Structure 1
Amino acid sequence: MRISVLAVDGVFDTGLAAVLDTFATANELAELQRMPSPRFEVHVVGVRKRVRTSLGLRVPVKAVSTLRRPDWIVVPALGTKMPEPLQEALERREAQDAAEQLRCWHAGGARIGAACIGGFLLAESGLLDGHEATTAWWLGPLFRQRYPGVRLDEQRMLVPSGRLVTAGAAMGHLELALWLVRQSSPALADMTARYLLVDTRPSQAPYMIPVHLAQADPLVQRFEGWARGRLREGFSLDAAAAAMHTSKRTLQRRIEAVLGKSPLSYFQDLRVERAVHLLRTSRQDLEAIAAEVGYADGVTLRTLLRRKLGRGVRELRRPGD
């Protein structure tokens, strides 16, 4: 399998290294175990002759024109993690040239995977329009605003869609690389994950911080503050809209546009966040915590935690609690 890793100036050091190390480890293990799996021929390519990582390390890259058409393109993240510098980076000529190169590769039949903020570069190409995707969870509001044609679900860790696949934040690079190895050999992917001490994660939800998402919009931020004071009492869209001095329809639309979910769903996220905090920092039993966050009983809360986070109460409590 021929893989080209597209690096642009300011590439995220950890992400680039994670991708390269995963394929290198898979190749070594396949040879050691005499597995019939095909080798991964990996090249780091760039649309510029010189590329440095976000920490200033020089990356040796090959020119796109010197290589045969790859089977897969991998787009690692940029090292800019916050909205304003990210938008500036995406407006640079290098980023736009990289998006154009992605279009050319895709038109030639190549498949493309992008991890974390690399998904923004892929979205810049327009190739993600009409597809499902994920990205770094805290940049979901910006992604929705910038690419309304993409069906974003930032809670998922990995989202294949047609000839494209996107992965979530930071260590999503490992998830993406292991997924690509698995396309050739599930056994080799499992062995590589064991050597790298990686547990695959289907969701980013346990890592999401609701208040960070709310800060993307003043109205959503006010709603978040109001909701936190009413977790025990329960949710009312009428009461929320009145407190925000807006209509129910406006509140509903704004929260869905920014967060990709309803006000009630976000209210439940806040309840889950509070319940997890209490599980980890107090010795209250589940029934008491359920009452604290507005649920009738512990069974309801237990079901919600499992559905939202994919974890049970014992997993969420700290060892020894």
Structure 2
Amino acid sequence: MRIYILALDEVFDTGLSTLLDTFSIANDLAESAGTPSIHFEVTIVGVRRRVHTSQGLLVPVVLATQLARPDIVLIPALGAKMPATLQLALERRDVGDIEELLREWSDGGTLVSAACTGTFVLANTSLLDGQSATTSWWLAPLFRERYPLVILEESRMIVDSSSFVTAGAALAHIDLALWLVRRSSPALASLTARFLVIDPRPSQAVFMIPDHLMHTDPLIERFEQWARNRLTHGFSLSAAANAAGTSERTLARRLKTVLGKTPLSYFQDLRVERAVHLLQTSNDSIDLIAAQVGYENGVTLRTLLRRRIGRSVSELRAGK
């Protein structure tokens, strides 16, 4: 399996390292387990002869234009972590230079994958238009603004869509590498995860900070403040719009544009966030916590937690 890791200048150190280490461990374990036919031939490639990490370390790369088409190409994150710096990084010439190369490889059958802010680099090519994808959860509003034709599912850790695979924030690079290992051998991926001491993480939802996303828009921030004070009550769109100082239609449209959610869906997100906090910081019963976040009983809350964040009450209480 020929894999290229496409490193742009100021690549995120941890992202690049975890990709390399995960495949290296998988190769070692495949050899020791007597399955040497499974091997990941990993090469760090670039579109410049000199590439540095965001911490200033020099990365040895091979010019991508001099190589044959790979089976898989991975785009690790850029070191830019916040919207303003990321948008500047995406305007760089080296970012633009890879677009034609990625399209060519994709047309030839290469599986194109990206993690964290690397998903923005991939989306810049327009290859993700009409496809589902995920990205760093706190950058979801910016992603929607820049790439409205991409179906963003930011709560998911990994999204497999046609010939593209995207992963969520920061350490989701490990989840992406394990996903790729799993395509060759589920048993090897499971063994590698054990050596890395990492559990499967299907969702980013448990890591999200809803009010961080709200602060990108004053109108939605007003809605969020109203909603947090109403978690034990029923939801009313008209009351929410009135509290936010706007019409129901404008509130719904703004939530959809910024977060890709309806007002009711985001209201439920806030309930889940509060429930998770109570589960992890108190000894209250699941039924009592359900009542504190507006649900009739613990069964309803258990079902919602499993559906929204992919974890059980016992896992959340154990801090997993």
TM-score band, normalised by shorter chain:
over 0.9
How far apart, CA to CA, are the structure 1 residues paired with 2:160 and 2:318?
Answer: 34
Superposed CA deviations along residues 232-283 of structure 1, whole A, max 9, x for unmatched, are: 2221000011112211111111101111111001001111111111222223
SS where residue 24 of structure 1 aligns? helix
Moved more, 147-156 or 310-319: 310-319
How many percent identity over aligned positions? 63
1:243 counterpart = 2:252: no
Question: Match for residue 6 of structure 1?
Answer: 6
Question: Match for residue 114 of structure 2?
Answer: 114
How far apart, CA to CA, are the structure 1 residues paired with 2:278 and 2:109?
Answer: 51
Q: Displacement of 1:318 after TM fit?
A: 4.9
| Structure 1 segment 22-101 matched on structure 2, within 5 A | 22-101=22-101
1:137 counterpart = 2:137: yes
Q: Displacement of 1:172 after TM fit?
A: 1.2
Q: Note if contact 2:130-2:151 (Cα within 8 Å) is conserved in structure 1.
A: yes
Q: Note if contact 2:220-2:244 (Cα within 8 Å) is conserved in structure 1.
A: no
Q: Displacement of 1:228 after TM fit?
A: 0.7
How far apart, CA to CA, are the structure 1 residues paired with 2:214 and 2:52?
Answer: 33
Q: Displacement of 1:201 after TM fit?
A: 1.0
Question: Match for residue 178 of structure 2?
Answer: 178
Counterpart residue identity of residue 142, structure 2: L
Question: Match for residue 274 of structure 1?
Answer: 274
Question: Match for residue 105 of structure 1?
Answer: 105
SS where residue 233 of structure 2 aligns? coil
How far apart, CA to CA, are the structure 1 residues paired with 2:81 and 2:125?
Answer: 20
Question: Match for residue 211 of structure 1?
Answer: 211
Q: Note if contact 1:115-1:176 (Cα within 8 Å) is conserved in structure 2.
A: yes
Q: Displacement of 1:36 after TM fit?
A: 4.6
Gaps of 5+ in 2: none
Question: Match for residue 311 of structure 1?
Answer: 311
Q: Note if contact 1:37-1:184 (Cα within 8 Å) is conserved in structure 2.
A: no
Distance 1:318 1:163, change over 3 A: closer
How far apart, CA to CA, are the structure 1 residues paired with 2:280 and 2:69?
Answer: 50
Counterpart residue identity of residue 300, structure 2: T
Counterpart residue identity of residue 181, structure 2: V
SS where residue 127 of structure 2 aligns? coil
Distance 1:282 1:30, change over 3 A: closer
SS where residue 166 of structure 1 aligns? strand
Distance 1:28 1:277, change over 3 A: same
Aligned residue-pair number: 319
Q: Displacement of 1:102 after TM fit?
A: 1.3
Q: Displacement of 1:104 after TM fit?
A: 2.3
How far apart, CA to CA, are the structure 2 residues paired with 1:70 and 1:180?
Answer: 14
Q: CA RMSD in A?
A: 1.4
Q: Displacement of 1:286 after TM fit?
A: 2.6
Q: Displacement of 1:302 after TM fit?
A: 2.4
Q: Note if contact 2:222-2:243 (Cα within 8 Å) is conserved in structure 1.
A: no
How far apart, CA to CA, are the structure 2 residues paired with 1:188 and 1:298?
Answer: 38
How far apart, CA to CA, are the structure 2 residues paired with 1:39 and 1:291?
Answer: 52
Distance 1:143 1:237, change over 3 A: same
Counterpart residue identity of residue 308, structure 2: K
How far apart, CA to CA, are the structure 2 residues paired with 1:13 and 1:112?
Answer: 20
How far apart, CA to CA, are the structure 1 residues paired with 2:180 and 2:314?
Answer: 33
How far apart, CA to CA, are the structure 1 residues paired with 2:259 and 2:239?
Answer: 20
Question: Match for residue 296 of structure 1?
Answer: 296
Superposed CA deviations along residues 18-62 of structure 1, whole A, max 9, x for unmatched, are: 111111111112222220533211110111111111111110110
Q: Note if contact 1:37-1:185 (Cα within 8 Å) is conserved in structure 2.
A: no
Moved more, 132-141 or 28-37: 28-37
SS where residue 112 of structure 2 aligns? strand
What's the TM-score, normalizing by structure 2? 0.96
Counterpart residue identity of residue 68, structure 1: A
Superposed CA deviations along residues 108-131 of structure 1, whole A, max 9, x for unmatched, are: 332211111111000001100010
How far apart, CA to CA, are the structure 2 residues paired with 1:284 and 1:199?
Answer: 26
How far apart, CA to CA, are the structure 1 residues paired with 2:250 and 2:154?
Answer: 23
Gaps of 5+ in 1: none
